[in-house]
Structure formats: structure tokens, C-alpha cells
Amino acid sequence: MARIAGIDVYLHVTFLLLLAYFAFVGWQGAGGIGALFFATLVILLFGCVLLHEFGHAFAGRFYGINTPDITLLPIGGVARMDKMPDQPMEEMVVALAGPMVNVVIALGLGLVMLVSGILNVGLLLSAFSGNLNAFPNLPTALLHILLLNNVILVVFNLVPAFPMDGGRVLRALLAMTMPFPQATQLAAAIGKTLAIGFAVIGLLYSPMLILLAAFVFIGAQQEARSVQLRSMTNGVGIREVLITHFKSLSPHASLHDAIDALLSSYQHDFPVVDESGRYLGLLTRTEMLGSVRQSGFDIEVAMIMRRDIQPVPLSIQLEEAMQRLEAETVSALPVVDTFGRVIGLLASENISEMVLVREAISGSGR
């Protein structure tokens, strides 16, 4: 959609389906005016979500953490940071920055509505129940619904369970008195307990709570697994997971040659090197398939390889290299020596295999 303050803002295509759905609901109820009202409401609500994510991003930037992009999804927004805060207090500030943006929006809307004389607690309750007939006009309804939903965003995001911001706040508080991995495991366990509670209540009263329970339970598992992975790779060198049997391509090779390499190996991404083996770029499967459709098989690899993907030096630790890998949209990153020559590949699949082996060894007691 745009690039704001150095951050790319993406809109997932499924958001358009959500917008179309609510516009259709509004059209069924009140024709064109209803469709326009609901479409405007959805856009403004997701504008608030976008500001929420920028709150996280700017707080992270204060601590030197870059946010390459923010993606708006039908279920909310995702600010993709290149690493997590190192200190508990930093994580707490970054986690709270998003909900605080919604607090400011809610207070601002409330002040404007109070000064203009349209703020009404009864109308807020009507907005909560979805009774639009209680409002004297659509602008009044729009402002009350926006105010209410920003309050809901604050409350929802502060639920002390991953992947909500409240889960990160809880972990930060726990990490002040215990090691970070233990704090994560405890916060994840609390989140799973809450998820089970949501599921039980949902069975009795609201099926939506069952969906929320599944969302929270899976989020807690993923966060616990992610931290466990980082903990097990702490202090490990890249050599332990380096893929040394790989294929590289010449910049003058044709796309036909690249497709042959893709089909005859397990690699999805191929380093492009010069005569001395020095890294020039990375040719990904995505670029290959897209170029076949547009340019045919005869185009040279140098014309379509990605030059923005930086290689990983062999000297850095695996934990830092993993952060680099997670920040890119590729399955593997080239690893280079001090002369810039590609000596191997770092793949997320290989890292997972190493963790499985370490877990097996740990479980055997050896």
C-alpha cells in the first residue's frame, strides 16, 4: 500500500473479502448508505489497528529494533520486527506501545464527542449490542462504534496470553525474576490455561470464544517453541548446521539451467557466484517461476537474481543468523567466508533438524 517512516505497509488480499462482506451486509440492511457506512467503519477500524502496529514499531525503533514491514490481515495487524527486545523492560515498553495508541485514540474520540455534546453511555451500550437503530444519525453511530472498538482493542490485547501484547507484558514481568526461557514457558502455560477457560465458556455461551481459545492456545505453543529454539541455539556456531553440499549458479547461466537445478535437487534458492565463487546474488524459486511466465527460459540468471539478499558471514553466531533468516522471505541464506566466497547454505529446515537431534540426545540422558 505505502511506505511510511521507512516501513512498508502491506494489505493482505483477504482483507478485501472482509471489506466486501461487511459492505454487502450494510447493503442488505440499508442499501447504498448502509454499504458505505460499514465499508467506512471497517477502513477506519483497520486504520486504528495500523496505528497500533506503528506504536510497536516506533517503540522498537527507540531501542534500535528495525521493523521492515507491517501487514494488515482480516484478524488484525502484524508488525514484523527483525529481532525481539533483549531486556524485559524493553519488551514491556514495546508490547504496551500498541495498546497505548488505542488508549490515546479512544481518549481523543471521547474528548471530541464530549465537547460536541454527542457522547452518550447508553449509545455506547447500543454500539456494543449492535443496535444501530438507537443512534440519531450515522456519524454519531460511527464515532461511538470507533470509540468502543478502540477500548475493546485495548482490553483484548492486554489479555495475559500469547500472541496478544498482554502475554509479552506478562513474560517481561516474569523475566525480571527468572531466566527468559522459564518466563516464556510459564507465560505460555498461563496462556494455555486461559485458552482452556475460554473454550469451556464458549461451549456454554458463545462459539466465538472457542475460536479465540484456539487462537490463544496455538499462539502460546508457537511462542514457547520459538524461544526454546533460540535457547538451544544460543552459543552455537553456524558450522554445526551448515549445508556444504549445494548447487550454485553462474550469472550467465540461463533460466533453463536454473530450472534444471531446481528440479534435480532439494534446493529452492540458489546462490549466484562469479568465477572465484564470490557471492553476487540469490536466485529464488519465486523469481524463477515468475520469470518463466514473463520472459521464457532464455533469460540470464543475472537479470532476475535478487541482489538485496545479503549473505551470512561464517563468523557470526547461529542465533544472530537465524534472526537474519527469519527477516528474509527465503528458505536458505548463503554463508560466506572472509573473502566473500560461498561455502554453504543456512536453512531453517536444517536448524530444526539440529534442534530435534539435541532434544533426542538430551532426552536420552547423554
- Alpha carbon separation from 349 to 133, 140, 243, 267 (Å, rounded): 55, 53, 11, 11
Burial 206-233 (b: 16+ CB within 10 A, else e): eeebbebbebbbebbeebbeebbbbbbb
- Nearest CA-CA partner of 81 in 61, 97, 51, 96: 61
126: nearest Cα among 143, 114, 106, 107: 143
Catalytic residue among 53, 91, 287, 328: 53
Hey, which residues does 281 pair with through a beta bridge?
272
Strand partners, 79: 70
| Strand partners of residue 282 | 271, 306
C-alpha cell at 263: 528440479
DSSP category for residue 311:
P
| Axis crossing angle, helix 348-364 with helix 318-327, rounded to the nearest 10 | 140
| HSE-up of residue 121 (Cα within 13 Å, Cβ side) | 0
Q: Is 90 one of the catalytic residues?
A: no
Cell of 355: 534442534
Give yes or no for a contact between 160 and 170, defined as CB atoms under 8 angstroms apart. yes
How many whole angstroms separate alpha carbon 158 and alpha carbon 156? 5
Report how many helices (DSSP H) and strands (DSSP E) the chain contains, helices first: 12, 9
For residue 186, CA distances in Å to 183, 282, 309, 356 come to 5, 40, 37, 22
| Pick from 166, 156, 212, 210: nearest CA to 188 | 166
Q: Rounded to an integer, what distance in angstroms lies between the CA atom of residue 40 and that of residue 19?
A: 9
Catalytic residues: 53
